[in-house]
Amino acid sequence: MGETITLLSKREVEKMRRAGQLASQLLDYLAPMVQPGITTQALNDAAERWTRSHGAKSAPLGYNGFPKSICTSVNEVICHGIPNPKQILKDGDIINIDVTPIVDGYHGDTSRTFFVGTPSPVAQKLVEVTEECLRRGIAAVTVNGKIGDIGAAIQEYAESHGFSVVRDFVGHGISNIFHTPPQVPHFGVRGKGKKIRPGMVFTIEPMINEGTYEHILLKDGWTAITKDRKLSAQFEHTIAITEDGVEILTLS
């Protein structure tokens, strides 16, 4: 694990702040469109138009060959769901929308899980627990703390509700590069892992499953689904560690 973690300057953190704000505004813009009858492609196209109209670029588009501008992960899809004109949202679905606009070269990365119409009780509980997992993960971040503190807080809370934490996809450092060290697992042991220092900027993005944490990758090479086809939810923020503590860059 000899990975080099780049610490961002105040000027760079300010750029990340602008990108983060645009990312949260994009999710706010898409939120009212999440209704039964809309296609995931229509959400993608709305996001792409909005992003361009704000002078930004969609980081996912073309990233390692990813074909769309946002990720739309519905029900049993854990992450990296590909928008599709044939995929029509229906009442009772849950959908995670993950957006990453690039503003002035810097990435703002955030996601939320939305209810389509009226959720089932288990979907409601899973989504609420996942959002609380993100809150607890962020609350566990302290200057000079350890990365393991974050995963421990998330894992404890998720498992106390009978849910599981995805192991194979993790949070990551982010800057003018989409994915950098450190890796930020959403499970772990307090006091282990890299030291958290001012100038670090990274995502916390717990993926919490109704059943097993294991996944299957579909033939498209992107879409990860739960092995048991049960529900998965996710929330994500990008945070900056400053001398004063922790700042959430993607708050709505």
pLDDT in tens, 231-249: 999 999 999 999 989 999 9
Residue 64 to residue 15: CA distance in whole angstroms: 24
**So what's the pLDDT on residue 2?**
57
pLDDT at 134 over 60: yes
The three-class DSSP label of residue 140 is: coil
- pLDDT tens-digit series, residues 171-228: 999 999 999 999 999 999 999 999 999 999 999 999 999 999 999 999 999 999 999 9
Task: State residue 3's pLDDT score.
Answer: 76
CATH superfamily of domain region 10-239? Creatinase/methionine aminopeptidase superfamily (3.90.230.10)
At 246 the three-state DSSP class reads: strand
| Predicted TM-score (pTM) of this structure | 0.97
Contacts of 156 (CB under 8 A, 6+ apart): none
State mean pLDDT over 30-55: 98
Strand residue runs (E) in the chain = 57-58, 71-74, 77-79, 94-99, 101-103, 106-107, 110-115, 164-165, 171-173, 180-184, 201-204, 207-209, 215-217, 224-226, 232-234, 237-242, 245-248
pLDDT confidence band for 1 (50 / 70 / 90): very low
- Residue 17 pLDDT > 90, yes or no? yes
Q: pLDDT tens digits for 87-129?
A: 999 999 999 999 999 999 999 999 999 999 999 999 999 999 9
SS3 135: helix
Backbone angles phi, psi at 136, to 5 degrees: -70, -35
**Mean pLDDT computed over every residue of the chain:** 97
Q: What percent of the chain has pLDDT over 90?
A: 98
Return d(Cα 14, Cα 196) in angstroms, integer: 19
Q: At what angle do helices 121-139 and 147-160 cross, to 10 degrees?
A: 160
Per-residue model confidence (pLDDT) at position 68:
98
**Length of the chain, please?**
252
Contact indicator for 172, 182 with CB cutoff of 8 Å: yes
